[in-house]
Structures are given as C-alpha cells and as structure tokens.
With several copies, the nearest count.
Chain A
C-alpha cells in the first residue's frame, strides 16, 4: 500500500478554521476578474425591476479558479482513481470516447425542429430499439432523467392504465419488498399511493405467501428489483409476477441491477410489465459526483399508450419526426399518455454515451459484461467469506451483501470498516443497506476491475477483519490517511450551515 502526499500552499486566504482548501469567497478580492464576456451595452430595464440587492459573488481571476478546482478535484476519490465497489451503483469504468462523442451533440437546442435534428432523432430511435432488444420489452421512453424519476413515471403509467380500466379509484396501494431501494416507496408515495412492505424469505426472495396475502383488488402494482438489492436473483420470479397479475396489478421492474442480466436474461421474458434502466449504472455513463444519470422506461406493449409524449416516428424514407403530425404545431396528441416528464428526449447528452457504449460492446460484449460482472462478484465473495458473515448463502449475481455483525460484536461496525477501507486506498461499499441485513456491506466490484485489484481489495478487507480482532479501537479511529478524519455529521444537521455568509 502506498500513501501519496501532496502539499498545497497557504495562498493567504483567510479561513476561519483550518481547511483543506479555502472557499471561493475566501479567495476573492474586490476588483478582481477575468474577461470572459464583456460588453459596453446598457440594458433598458425599468427602474422598478432593476436589481437593488447587492450581488456579492466572489471576484477572482481565472488562475485562481483553476487552482481552486484542481485542488478540490484532487480531494475526490473517483472511478478514475480507484476501485469504487459501491453496491447497487455499478461504478464501472466510464469510457472516455463516450464523453467525446457526446460533445458532438452539445450545441443542439431541444426546441429545434425535426428538420434540423435528424441525427439526434436517428440516434434516439436506434437507442430505443437497442434497449428493447436488451430488456425484452416492447417500447421505451427516454424521458426520465434518473431511476427515481423513471419509477415515478412508471407509477403514473400504472395509474393511467388502471384509470383506463376504470380501476384507478380502487387501486390505491403499491407493494414493495423489504429489500427495496428507498426510491421505490418514495416514488410510490409521491405518486399518491399507499405503500405496503412485504418481507423476504430465508433465501432472500420475496416471501411469496406474504406477497399473495398483501395482494388484492386495491393493489395497483408491485415494485421488484431483480436481481434484488441482496444481489440475488428472485428464484420464483415468474410466480411472483403471475401472482401480481392475477390480482389485476402490474409489476414494476427496478432495473438498477440490470448489469447482472446483460445477455444473461431479459426482464421482458420474466413477467415484468415495465423496467427502468439506470444508464449511469448499466451503460457506463459517468456518475458526475452524484449525477446526471438517465432512466429510460421500457414497457410491454399494453403500457405503451400511457408513455410520456412525444414519441419518435420513423418514416419509410428513413427520416424521423415526432408524433405531432410532421411538425410540432401543437403539443403531441396526448391520447392516453400521462403527459410529459421532460421535454423531448430527457438527458440526451447521457443517452448519447449509453448509445456509444452499446455500439462498442455489441451483442457479444453485452453478454460478456453480464457474465463477467457475475464472475467477479462470486470470486470476490469467495475471497471474503472466510472473514465476514454472508447474509444469504447462495450464488449472488453481480453484487453481494456481507454482514459485519460479527465484527460489530468484536468492536468495529460496518461504518468503521468502511472508514478503514479508505485508509487502505479503496472506496467503501454501500453500508447499512439493504435494511434487512444487520451491519450490511453491499459490494459490487463490476466487470471492469481486474482480478489483481479484487485480490488487493480482499486482502485489505481481510487485514481489517484481522485488525478488528486485535485492535478494534484503531479501526474505529479510521480514516487516518484520507484528506479528512471522520466528520461531525450530527453537528452538521443540528446547526445547519448550508451556505457561505460573508459575515458568518
């Protein structure tokens, strides 16, 4: 293990406390500026509308700004700097060519005519087709900008579907498993549904009996992640879907874990009515320090009428337009559609990257990806099993969940272990999720980490487990080699400081 140290100069900024890097505001000096944009024009704005409030934005030169953000960037852990085994997030490598080709579409406005955007429409149309093929669904809406927005969109679709059948008023409930990601119940609630949670069985599946007894004529839908957040493939997935369908409800597929299924199985063949895709997970688009993502919604034909508008139409001459006649003289005819979630094609810049990625992988590459993701997870699990409790003992798919319950008893929690990993040079796994595993550590290596990195990660985890038995206090004291020691999160929430104030 190596430790890299870099010293940054005290540039003379007055910071109230010791800090890794001054704030922009602390670096600023009145009268400084660059000259990126200038004008000597004056704006004819009636006095009553003119800004009288001061505008105390920091005044800086470009050299200062460049150093500031270069320093900040270097304080970040990222996929470009190391293994990032954050379970459920699929932190795979983000190919650089995808960023480059996305930039080719940077200077196009979403309100341009179809006449001037044939390249955009052709790409989007083909991407829809590719997602159909990969998921086994029938139609796709590219509008949702992330998984959570796609969940919400899908639940709106469910509502519209039931409304069409005259059952909207009656079907007020959405069922989620106890392993569900937080966005699932949150989306359901946002969509005006009551949420019912069903428990998992001893093999980490949805408890089918519990599900059946929760199902009824008041249920609109069931949200299922498969493989679920334990990394396990739902063993009776078709029975689950059948049960839901038998109750007149719909099955929502949370596709956050789609990486495991690439070329391995298609949700459309398993009984799901729809599926969202996190392209920032499965299709390698960069996570952007929290976002952007994109969350295309893939549906079976019976849900198509309810998808957001407009839809892309391909003419027999190979040209494309939206389904608003040949020009959007009017909003797309809504018909049964729920409306519009995001103008036109959602986070198109992200979708271009996903398109390039699928083009690069192709059929065989997609298959290899799913299989390698599964191989890597199973291999890493085999290495870690000697030291950590395994939540459910059956072969995981692309990720798995350990429990640090044993270590917790020895004096160091999952949180402590996650911090000790930082000292070992690794980002930590997702911890304390899913909720049903005590001291959960959810580990997703992805297919892009080489075997020797998995070995090194495992060695670090075993070293930590060993240290927990000999010196748990040291583990509780981690991290020591990260840019900061542990942060006071309680204090942050109790007395929130949410912005810089000059006089603070």
Chain B
C-alpha cells in the first residue's frame, strides 16, 4: 500500500497491473525459492515516522552532543575543525554529484570524471607527487594500503612504522596486517632510519601526531639505501607551508583529506589521500581518472588503468576497494579551487601562528611544559602534573575540549606519560586561547580532576 514506504510510487492499481503482467496474483508467488519458515519475518522495528517526526527526533539526538562550535575546541590531529567556505557544500552536494555513482558510463559522467581528474591534479601539485588516485576511504586505510603496496613492490613482509604516527592509523595498520600476516614493527621516529633493514617500507608522519616536524629526507634516504620504500603520512594544510613529500623523497604519500572542506561528522565520511611515484602506479590501489578523447576528438575523462582493480582482476587486484570517497575528493577540489594557494597558506599559517602563541602562554604557566622537543607545526603537546586524561576531563567540565594522548599507547601498552594535544586552526580565536590558558592555569594549580568512573 502506498504510505508505508513514502518513497515508493506504486499505487494499488499499479501493483495490480504489474502483477497481472507478470502473470501472478501475489508477490508471494515469486518467493518460492525462500524457505517457507523464513518468509515474512516479523522484524520488531518501530512503525515508520513522517519526515517531520524524523527531523525533530534527530534534532533531539543532535542536541545531546556538544559540538565543536559550542565552546573552545582544540581537538584535531588527522581530523580538523576548519573553515568551510559556503560555496563548498552548495557545489559539491549538488544532486548531480551526490546521487551519481562510479562513472561506469563516462559519456554521461563527465562531471564526476573531470572533477576527480582535477582533484588528482590539485593534490599531486600540493604533495609534489606524480600520481594521486581518486580516493581511499580515509587516512587510516590509506596507510594500511600503502604498507600492502610496499609489500607488493618490494616482496618483503616487514613494515616499520613510527610510534609518532597517528594512533588510529597505527591501529588500522596493525589490524589490516593480520590478514596477510605482515610483521609490523613500531619504533620511535628517531629510530626509523636505523630500522630499515629488510623492511618493505618505513612509515613516517610529518608533522607527526604530536605536531613535531620531522626530517623525512633522512628517513627516505635510509629507506632507499636499504631497498625499502618511504611512506609519508601527511596533512594537506601542512603541505602548503612545508616542503612537500615529493621533494623529501617519499615514494608513497598518504593522509586524511578531511581538513579540505569536509565536515568532521564524528569521523566520516572522509577522504583517504593516496599518492605515489609514477613508476609505482601499476601497483597503486583504487580508481584513477585519466584524460582521453571521444570519437569526435573532444577531450574527455575515463577511469583508467582498471586492470589493477577488483572488478577486472578479482583476487589479483591491487586492492579490494570498490565504493570509495569520490564525493569527498570533489569536495576537496572545490575547497582548494576556492581557497587557492594564498588562502590555503593563510589557513595553514593561522594554525601555526596561533599554536605557537598559545604554546608560549601555556609554557609560561607554573607546572606546565610543552612536551615537543623539536619545532612543531600547528599542534603541540602540553604536559602538566595533572596528567593528560584528568586535565582533559577537567577542561570538559569547563566547556573546553582537548584530546589526551592515547597516542602514547604503543602496541597496546602504555608508554611514557599521558599529556594533552592542543590543535589550532584558523578557527581558533583569541577568546578560545584565553579560556584554555585560564582553565589550565587553574587546573594545573589545583590538581582538580573529574571522576572518570
């Protein structure tokens, strides 16, 4: 009956006509293959709501969250609260992008294909890499896929990853590695270069999870000397100001593209950036858009090098990825084209400048120190005698959100002490900074904490 599924167009008259054309009296006659006792299960799902009811129900749920915009907010890392220009969602969420699928029919999918080709081009320029694919799921899976690719390229089964790589990436990597049973070795970044022997790749993050700047070149050199690849995890805004991975010797570059105009959305959907050197492209996972011409000689774009992919090569494919994050790639391209080089640099600079100013103020407080031992980018690690988790909870009670360093858990074991990480972006205000400094001053003095039971 029309009315149960409000998106279904079939009227009772339609259904009757369709059944009669099929030649059955009831849909049940078509279900003969299903074990009778399994047919028509009672699900126990509540009755359907109207759109208005759904809207108000979800508004109620949403109000149970404290959003990043509700108060001073310093959580960041791979996923960052950044300013999203108004034109970004207006363009990227147009129905023609949003409700299309993988461009299997390129003649009627040039919008997608050209936009993705442009994403690849923009990202390649930003990273100074030869080839960028059209997206992976996220930074974590991209890191794991980079390790797998290095294993394919080198024929080796040991992957060495720095402990200062984002902990979520390391967790995903370790989890993925259980499949092919790779050896994952976690060492501090400082020991990476000396751990290259027999490795398929060294995985380094720059700036690292704590914001520290890393000398990637030296690590890449060590990797190459040992016949390993250098995989760099990076962040897009950092690449606007820092020497890009392609100039540092990275063979594969991965990262999270969310800061490029994509909403945080509690973790996804986001954008796995994946780039490599030209020579490695046939081992690359994921879809790649390429330029060509149509029968009239008009320029057009297609998904190309598909013999790497699961739908052609099945178990011999470079990856199992099918549905990817094309819309996020298009979103990132819209963002980059709106900001341009100067806007991107400005956003990045604001984060760096505010992080440094804030770090200075915090370091001047009694019993507070910045734990980064080398120059940092737009986030830093604050160490107090209170301890990271307690400090974090004390700040939450004051309406301020920061992250404690889960990252200090290596291979599941706690190593070193817990701190908080303070991320700044162009959205960090003076008032935010003041609030944090005040609150930390109080908490570090009083040692007050919030029960965590």
Contact = CB atoms under 8 A, between A and B. Distances in A.
Contact of A122 (B13, B64, B322): B64
B3 A134 contact: no
Given A266-B41, A328-B406, A34 B118 contact: no
Interface in A15-54: 15-21, 23-25, 29-39, 41-46, 48-53
A122 to B, nearest CB: 6
A293 B98 CA distance: 12
A356 interface: yes
A234 to B, nearest CB: 7
A33 B340 contact: yes
A355 B240 CA distance: 33
Contacts of A371: 27
A233 B34 contact: yes
B49 to A, nearest CB: 5
A149 interface: yes
A134 B42 CA distance: 9
A387 interface: no
A68 B90 CA distance: 13
Given A21-B114, A116-B65, A364-B4, A359 B319 contact: no
B9 interface: yes
Contacts of B356: 43-44
A1 interface: no
Nearest to A499: B121
Contact of A105 (B4, B55, B65): B65
B221 interface: no
B110 A483 contact: yes
B100 A39 contact: no
Given A109-B75, A134-B45, A395-B32, A57 B336 contact: yes
Interface string B182-213: 00000000000000000000000000000001
Interface stretch (A210-218, A243-251, A332-340, A404-412): A332-340
B365 interface: no
A148 B321 contact: yes
Nearest to A23: B118
B99 interface: yes
Contacts of B290: 492-493, 496-498
B160 interface: no
B416 interface: no
B442 interface: no
Contacts of A104: 58-59, 61-62
Given A57-B126, A134-B45, A487 B9 contact: no
B446 interface: no
Interface in B336-379: 336-350, 352-354, 356, 375, 377
Given A75-B110, A113-B392, A330 B8 contact: no
Nearest to B214: A49
B86 interface: yes
A191 B266 contact: no
A8 B109 CA distance: 14
A65 B90 CA distance: 11
A448 B14 CA distance: 13
B138 interface: yes
B67 interface: yes
Nearest to B148: A190
Contacts of A313: none
Contacts of A484: 106-107, 110, 294, 296, 298, 300
A89 B104 CA distance: 12
Nearest to B314: A185
A460 interface: no
Interface in A73-114: 73-81, 84, 86, 89, 91-113
Contact of B239 (A51, A270, A325, A334): A51
Contact of B311 (A192, A350, A433): A433
A289 interface: yes
Contacts of B154: none
Main secondary structure of the interface of A (DSSP, over half): loop
A288 B97 contact: yes
Interface in B302-321: 302, 304-307, 309-317, 319-321
Interface stretch (A296-304, A341-349, A463-471): A341-349
Nearest to A324: B406
A395 B24 CA distance: 11
Nearest to B80: A109
A391 to B, nearest CB: 15
B326 A369 contact: no
A474 interface: no
Contact of A487 (B13, B269, B293, B312): B293
Contacts of B293: 17, 487-488, 491
Contacts of B266: 105, 108-110, 112, 117, 120, 344-345, 348-349
Contacts of A78: 95-100
Interface in A228-273: 232-235, 237-238, 263-266, 269-270
Interface in B1-21: 1-15, 17-19, 21
A58 B337 contact: yes
B189 to A, nearest CB: 15
A491 B293 CA distance: 8
Interface in B37-62: 37-52, 54-55, 57-59, 61-62
A373 to B, nearest CB: 9
B340 A487 contact: no
Contact of A97 (B51, B111, B114): B51
Given A105-B62, A109-B266, A379-B18, A37 B346 contact: yes
B431 interface: no
A368 B10 CA distance: 10
Contacts of A198: none
A325 B3 contact: no
Nearest to A454: B18
B117 A17 contact: no
Interface string B153-185: 000000000000001100110111011110000
A31 B44 CA distance: 28
Interface stretch (B223-231, B243-251, B432-440): B243-251
A360 B57 CA distance: 11
A72 interface: yes
B340 A488 contact: no
Given A73-B91, A427-B108, A106 B292 contact: no
B264 A110 contact: yes
A91 B98 CA distance: 12
Contacts of B141: 145, 149, 341-342
Contact of B48 (A123, A264, A359, A496): A359
Contacts of A136: 41
Interface in B409-453: 409, 412, 414, 418, 426, 452-453
Contact of A61 (B8, B294, B307, B352): B8
B174 to A, nearest CB: 6
B137 to A, nearest CB: 4
A441 interface: no
B112 interface: yes
Interface in A123-139: 123, 130, 133-134, 136
A345 B65 CA distance: 15
A298 to B, nearest CB: 13
A146 B41 contact: no
Given A38-B346, A362-B46, A499-B117, A286 B98 contact: yes
A485 B52 CA distance: 43
11 contacts: A37-B426, A72-B111, A92-B7, A159-B179, A289-B102, A329-B389, A342-B268, A364-B4, A368-B1, A374-B31, A451-B14
Closest 8 CB pairs of A and B: A362-B48, A290-B326, A288-B327, A292-B269, A339-B175, A110-B267, A119-B64, A80-B95
Given A101-B62, A119-B61, A498-B304, 18 more contacts: A33-B3, A37-B339, A44-B353, A51-B239, A64-B9, A70-B95, A73-B94, A107-B81, A111-B75, A112-B65, A364-B4, A364-B48, A367-B43, A375-B30, A395-B29, A428-B105, A451-B9, A487-B106
